[in-house]
A and B are shown apart, each in its own frame.
Chain A
Amino acid sequence: MSKTDFPLSIDSRPVYGVFEMRAGKHHLMIADAEGAEALLDLATAAPADLWAKTHIIYIPKTTGKKYLGKLQALSPDQFYAGPSYEAAKQRIADTFSKAHMGLQVYLAGTEGLMGQAMYAATSAGIPHTAIQTEHRGSTARRMQCVHCKGITEDVTHDPFICSHCGLNLFVRDHYSRRMAAFQGVCIDAEDPGNVPKSVGLFK
Chain B
Amino acid sequence: MTIQFNDETFRDDFSFKNSPAAIKRFPFPFHEDSYMYSVNLEPHTKTRPGSPFEFAFDVDEHYVSEMKDRAVTLADDPLRCQSLPHMTLAGWDLLEYIMEAKARDYPDLFSLTKDGNIWHWENKPLEIDQTFIFLDESTLPYGPMEYITRQTQGDFALLDQRDDNLWLDAGMITSQADWSLDFNVGMNFFEWHAPVPKANEMGIFVRALKFLLNLQQGAPARRLNWTMTVNPLLDTSPENYHKWGPMKTGLTIENIGSKQYLRVELQTLFRLPRSNAIAFPIRAYLCRFEDLMTVPKWGRRLHRVLRDIPDELATYKGFIDNKPLMLEYLSRFDDGAPTSDGIWPDEA
Query: Which residues of A line the B interface, CB within 8 A?
Result: 10-13, 144, 146-147, 149, 167, 172-179, 183, 185-186, 189-192
| 15 more CB-based (< 8 A) A-B contacts, given A146-B238, A146-B239 | A12-B192, A13-B194, A146-B180, A147-B240, A149-B79, A167-B242, A174-B183, A176-B184, A176-B186, A177-B191, A178-B185, A183-B183, A189-B245, A190-B249, A190-B321
- Considering the complex, give the chain A residue whose CB is closest to the CB of B182: A149
Q: How far is the CA of A185 from the CA of B178 in the complex (A)?
A: 11
Question: How far, in angstroms, from A39 to B320 measured CA to CA in the complex?
Answer: 49
CA distance A62 to B125 in the complex (A): 62
Interfacial residues of chain B within 82-129, with CB under 8 A of chain A in the complex: none
- Minimum Cβ distance to chain A for residue B167 (Å): 11
A residues less than 8 Å from B240 (CB atoms): 147
Which residues from A are CB-within-8-Å of B186?
176-178
Known: A147-B241, A149-B182. A10 touches B246 (CB 8 A): no
What separation, in Å, do the CA atoms of A192 and B246 have in the docked complex? 8
State A185–B195 Cα separation when bound (angstroms): 13
Closest 5 CB pairs of A and B: A189-B245, A12-B194, A10-B194, A12-B191, A11-B194
Q: Chain B 261-285 against A: per-residue CB contact (8 Å), 1 yes, 0 no?
A: 0000000000000000000000000
CA distance A175 to B192 in the complex (A): 9
User: What chain B residues lie within 8 Å of A147 (beta carbons)?
Assistant: 238-242
Instruction: Please give the distance in Å from B189's CB to the nearest CB on chain A.
Output: 9
A186 contacts B194, C-beta separation under 8 Å? no
- Do the beta carbons of B190 and A11 come within 8 Å of each other? yes
When each residue 174-217 of chain B gets 1 if its CB lies under 8 Å from chain A and 0 otherwise, what string results? 00000010111111001111110000100000000000000000
Q: Does B25 contact A (CB under 8 A)?
A: no
Identity of the chain B residue whose Cβ is nearest the Cβ of A146 in the assembled complex: B238
Residue of B nearest to A189 (CB): B245
Chain B residues contacting A186 (CB-CB under 8 Å) are 241-242, 245
Min CB–CB distance B190 → chain A (angstroms): 4
A-B contacts, 24 listed (Cβ < 8 Å): A10-B195, A11-B200, A12-B191, A12-B195, A146-B238, A147-B240, A149-B79, A149-B182, A167-B242, A173-B194, A174-B195, A176-B183, A176-B187, A177-B186, A177-B187, A178-B185, A185-B241, A186-B241, A189-B241, A189-B242, A189-B245, A190-B245, A190-B249, A190-B321
Instruction: Tell me if B317 is interfacial: C-beta within 8 Å of chain A.
Output: no
* CB-nearest residue of chain A to B187: A12
B294: shortest Cβ distance to chain A, in Å?
30
Question: Which chain B positions have C-beta within 8 A of A146?
Answer: 180, 183, 238-239, 241
How long is the Cα–Cα vector from A173 to B191 in the complex, in angstroms? 11
**Complexed CA–CA distance, A64 and B191 (Å):** 36
In the complex, the chain B residue whose C-beta lies closest to that of A183 is: B183
- Bound: A186/B190 CA distance, A: 24
A11 interface neighbour in B79, B184, B191, B239, Cβ under 8 Å: B191
Determine if B248 is an interface residue (Cβ-Cβ < 8 Å).
yes
Q: Which residue of B lies closest to A149 (CB)?
A: B182
